[in-house]
Amino acid sequence: MYRYDEFDHGFVTSRVAQFRDQVERRLSGELTEDQFRPLRLMNGVYLQLHAYMLRIAVPYGTLSSRQLRMLGHIGRKYDRGYGHFTTRQNLQFNWPALKDIPAILDDLASVEMHALQTSGNCIRNVTTDHFAGAAADEIADPRPYAEILRQWSSIHPEFSYLPRKFKIAVTGAPKDRAAIQVHDIGLELKRGPDGEIGFAVYVGGGQGRTPMIAHKVRDYLPEEDLLAYVEAIMRVYNLHGRRDNKYKARIKILVHETGAEEITRQIEAEFVEVKKTELLRLPDEEIQRITAYFAAPDLAPKPARSGAFEAAKADSAAFAAFAENNVTPHKAPGYGVVTVSLKPIGGIPGDATDVQMEVVADLAEAYSQSEIRVSHEQNLVLPHVALDDVPALYAKLAEHGLATGNAGLVTDIIACPGLDYCALANARSINIAQDLSNRFGAPERQKDIGELKIKISGCINACGHHHVGHIGLLGVDRRGEEVYQITLGGSGDETASVGALVGPGFTGDQVVDAVETVVDTYLKLRQGPDETFLSAVRRLGQQPFKEALYGAA
């Protein structure tokens, strides 16, 4: 796991001191809210409907036990006893008092954390596969490259005031668990002809008001050219991206309006110029230095099959469901990657109490090399758990409401905070997620339905990733009433697609029944239990679901 160097320590400490002075001047009235706004946003502080919100950076979703314990401490001391994990692998506290935020930032700095570049028109948190460094299907660990990009992009003088916010994702496996094709830049680790590491490069993906799937601009980029090529992309965007209309300012619009072929030509031309200086050539020794921070843990050898694990599955249907859905193969025999669901039946997606955070931190220390991941699906992950230890881990999770075996199922719902918190939202998301979770919560029903990703956003900004939900729900305001549009067939994996709108929206009282109608239609028309919902929608198209929802007419 990455450790701060002297620059990191000095920089974060000085920024906290600077922001403390700015907060004091705001509280004294020396600064107006309009003057304070750009200053607070540079430090991850938003003004929501009811209070300030602090968004804390979790680079590439990796946390230590010490860091997660600190987040629990902050939630208890300065907030209302919980935090909300987001689709950018960050954590939000929704109720801190402005006067306390410098103290929170001090506490974060003590465990090598911060809130920088979690807002504003800059390069945001670089995200990656939440199974990175552990997944059995991984080509290489993408986190060293995410860390290199983080260091390069932090307070980058040329890219701190971009036309719009900018998001980068990296995946190290053919199975895309980082949704790289709906990011401004997506990077896929690949092996070259001689086994060397390189990247496929995607540009111009994104969700929000105009959802688009990224275009591949490079089939293979050599490892040493990573920073030079990303800098070339950023320069083309910074020069040509629109600043006159924030709704058309993202790079996806630039790619769409200019054309992928022409954008690729411009990027390649700028790449040639950037490479001439050699300043951004990534030396092998630097790659090795950063990679060493992410060395695989020294795991005790285990037999591939665990008798204790198999016996627990045979003894308990609930544990068997947890083992099937929440335990993923590890690259080391006898180990698993365990997803800790933050989606209890009827719960609020992504929320964790201070006690739960501390429990997970303790369990990571006991069973997972003191390492935790935050997934963009708003769950936590323990990446290095011996299968022998999973039954004991499960029992402890169950004591604290964290043992729901629903990862990837219909109740593993992504939802933004919506109108309960967000000043931009048009509709609530949390209550709809809770109602859907309760409706589909029976274990037998979830198993019958199989893999199905429901994603909910309370406004067009799509923080709930509804565009790439197998079933997506978008809350809109229709003459003062909250109405939910349904899209079908979206996906954020390696087969990325934007869901298609089925038809007119449904009120809050109607939408859960409507989703149930969609699911029941799938169950009736699927070609056996092995055909997933997404496969069925792609085979059948929209018409059967439209007829079920609105009638044959």
117-152 pLDDT tens trace = 999 999 999 999 999 999 999 999 999 999 999 999
Across all residues in the chain, what is the average pLDDT?
97
Q: What is the distance between the alpha carbons of residues 225 and 283, in angstroms, rounded to a whole number?
A: 9
Pull the structure tokens for residue 137: 């299907």
Please report the pLDDT score of residue 552 as a whole number.
73
For 350, the token pair is 């992504």
Q: Six-digit token pair at 247? A: 């709704």
C-alpha torsion 246→252→255→257, nearest 10: -50
Between the CA of residue 271 and those of 311, 457, 487, what are the distances in Å?
A: 57, 37, 39
User: What would the mean pLDDT of 537-551 be, rounded to a whole number?
Assistant: 97
pLDDT band at residue 5 using 50, 70 and 90 as cut-offs: confident
Beta-strand runs (E) in 387-499: 414-415, 454-457, 471-478, 481-488
Q: What is the edge-to-edge ordering of all strands in the sheet holding 371-374?
A: 62-64, 371-374, 380-386, 335-340, 327-329
Per DSSP bridges, beta strands 454-457 and 471-478 are parallel
Q: What angle do CA 429, 532, 89 make, to 5 degrees?
A: 45
Name the nearest CA neighbour of 12 among 150, 159, 168: 150
Q: What is the dihedral of CA 440, 442, 443, 446, to 10 degrees?
A: -20
Q: How far apart are CA 180 and CA 334, in angstroms?
A: 30
The pLDDT score that the predictor gives to residue 553 is 58
Q: Give mean pLDDT, residues 303-327.
A: 98
Structure tokens at 357: 């955070």
- CA–CA dist 420, 140 (Å, integer): 40
pLDDT in tens, 369-403: 999 999 999 999 999 999 999 999 999 999 999 99
Instruction: Give me the amino acid identity at 211.
Output: P
The DSSP symbol for 497 reads B
pLDDT at 13: 96
pLDDT above 90 (res 347):
yes
Q: What's the pLDDT at 1? A: 85
Q: In this predicted model, what pLDDT tens digit does every residue of 448-481 receive, in sequence order?
A: 999 999 999 999 999 999 999 999 999 999 999 9
Q: What pLDDT digit, counting tens, does each position of 29-62 carry? A: 999 999 999 999 999 999 999 999 999 999 999 9
